[in-house]
Amino acid sequence: MFRILTIAAALLALSGPVLAQGTQVAFGGMTQDTSAPVEVSADQLQINQSDGTALYTGNVVIGQGEMRLAAPRVLVIYTEGQGRIDRMEASGGVTLVSGEEAAESDRADYSIDTGVIVMTGNVLLTQGANALTSERMVVNLEDGTAQMTGRVRTVIDQGSDAPQQ
């Protein structure tokens, strides 16, 4: 009985950080080279010269170094007069993969210059057998970290070596 109470007390103590309003996690296991070329493939492309945008639709896949982002729709906004990508806005269900980790959300906004991706709406981050959910995650590709906010929930897989009760 004492062992069960000890385990219950330990789980209760851990539930604060696990269900916290915000948490910082490692993302990608390595930093991303944000100066690497960006490759985009899609079923369709519409270019708007007047506002400096390109709209990719249908099976959009964006690659930069080891990172991959996939979504049904991505709007690419170019820096005025420079022909460089300023930012990308992905929507319709986004998947981001970097190293061993993957994240999903309703929407993602990627600022190329700052190396920051803001994922919003039903965010799910998987790191091996562990999973974290929240409403918003800000990924910093320069230092390989992510900040999750909005009712963060974590599921930690203790593996088959965990004691059975």
SS3 helix, strand, coil % of the chain, rounded to 5? 10, 55, 35
Check residue 57 and give its pLDDT.
98
**Structural contact between residues 76 and 82, judged by C-beta atoms closer than 8 angstroms:** no
**Structural contact between residues 95 and 69, judged by C-beta atoms closer than 8 angstroms:** yes
Check residue 122 and give its pLDDT.
96
**pTM of the prediction?**
0.77
For 10-49, the pLDDT digits (tens) are 333 333 333 344 566 666 554 567 678 889 999 999 999 8
Q: Residue 148 pLDDT > 70, yes or no? A: yes
**Structural contact between residues 123 and 136, judged by C-beta atoms closer than 8 angstroms:** yes
For 48-97, the pLDDT digits (tens) are 989 999 999 999 999 888 889 999 999 999 988 777 889 999 999 999 99
Q: At 111, which helix (H) or strand (E)?
A: strand 101-111
29 or 151: which carries more pLDDT confidence? 151
Check residue 21 and give its pLDDT.
47
d(CA 74, CA 57): 6
Which span out of 19-23, 123-127, 140-144 was modeled with the highest average pLDDT?
A: 123-127
Q: Within a 10 A sphere around the Cβ of 59, how many other Cβ atoms? A: 12
Map tokens 């690419």 to a residue.
76
β-strand 101-111 against 39-41: which pairing, if any? unpaired
Which span out of 30-44, 108-122, 149-163 was modeled with the highest average pLDDT?
A: 108-122
CATH 2.60.450.10 fits domain 20-155:
yes
Q: Residue 136 pLDDT > 50, yes or no? A: yes
Check residue 27 and give its pLDDT.
64
Map tokens 């930690």 to a residue.
156
For 85-106, the pLDDT digits (tens) are 899 999 999 999 987 889 999 9
- The upper half-sphere exposure of residue 61, i.e. CA atoms within 13 Å in the direction of its Cβ, equals 8
Check residue 113 and give its pLDDT.
86
Q: Give residues with Cβ within 8 angstroms of 41, minimum separation 6.
A: 59, 60, 61
Check residue 32 and give its pLDDT.
64
